[in-house]
Amino acid sequence: MNPGVSFIVRCRNEEEYLYNSLMSLSGLDIPHEIIVILHLCTDRSKEIAEKLQATGMPIKIVEYNEEVSRAGYETLVTPASSKHSIVQYLKYAYSLAQYNWIFKWDADFVATGPLLNFLEYDLILDEETPVRFRLGCELGTDALNAEFYLFNCLVDVQKYMFWEVPVFADGAINHDFSQLRIKSVSYKTLKEYWEARPWFKAHPSTVEELVLAVNYDYIVSLVGEEPLGLARASNPECDGKLSALLQVQEHLLEKGISFYS
């Protein structure tokens, strides 16, 4: 792959944040691309991306029109192999990258000066050793999340409980650069899409939708209703629900509900 950075931006009705997020990357001079994946957007997100693309920013716009299970109970009940799995969505998203470095960039992220300086002057673009960087993300003033947002060694994406997780090459070198910060919104910010019913419960008609709806209700019967936005990054409500679900994992496996890919 070509030396450079591919920013992978999944976008679901992010008009409030998208402009500032993309503009925060506008000063980069290194080879890079910003792939904006519009997921069933009904707001001005596409218009915003197109206007910035027209200014010469290296933005590629892709539309993804499959319903996707959100992080939380929905991901737990959805098999990783389903076309509606967030795992498959991420595999598709990452497959679009033309550069060797991938940056998992959310539509509400804003780059800070130190992060941009690192990308511009310190990141070895043609690095052949498998490397992943753990970077910090300030969630408003409420929390600091740290993940491997930047990597050149992705080999797979798998399901892990409520989420999807990247799988990296064996022997990948880990760098903890969590002092390099991304700014984002508080984990307490509840975006509109979190308020929607699970897609498979809205108007279930296919066998898959019916099975997922039944399994979702089974989880609710065991551990209670899912708080809105339960599985947002650093949400402390997650711990109690995950602990309760792990206690009944055998019952879930009997229903074909797996915690992992």
Which bin fits 250, alpha (ψ -120 to 50), beta or left (φ > 0)? alpha
**Range 115-118 contact pairs with CB under 8 angstroms and sequence separation of 24 or more:** 115/180, 115/181, 115/182, 116/25, 116/27, 116/28, 118/177, 118/180
pLDDT at residue 229, as a whole number: 93
pTM: 0.96
Supply the pLDDT for residue 118: 98
CATH number where 159 lies = 3.90.550
Instruction: Give a yes or no: residue 189 inside a domain.
Output: no
Which residue range(s) make up the domain with 228? Answer: 197-254
Q: Does residue 116 share a domain with residue 202?
A: no
Among 134, 160, 184, where does a domain finish? 184
Q: Provide the pLDDT for residue 234.
A: 87
As a whole number of angstroms, the distance between CA 11 and CA 113 comes to 23
Whether residues 69 and 122 fall in one domain: yes
Of 184, 211, 244, the one marking the end of a domain is 184
Please give the tally of structural domains in the chain.
2
Cβ atoms of 78 and 69 within 8 Å: the answer is: yes
Q: In angstroms, rounded to a whole number, what is the distance separating the alpha carbons of residues 73 and 198?
A: 9
Tell me which residues of the chain have a pLDDT lower than 50.
none
Residues 232, 172: one domain? no
Residue 214 shares a structural domain with residue 162: no
Q: Does 132 share its domain with 211?
A: no
- The pLDDT assigned to 233 comes to 84
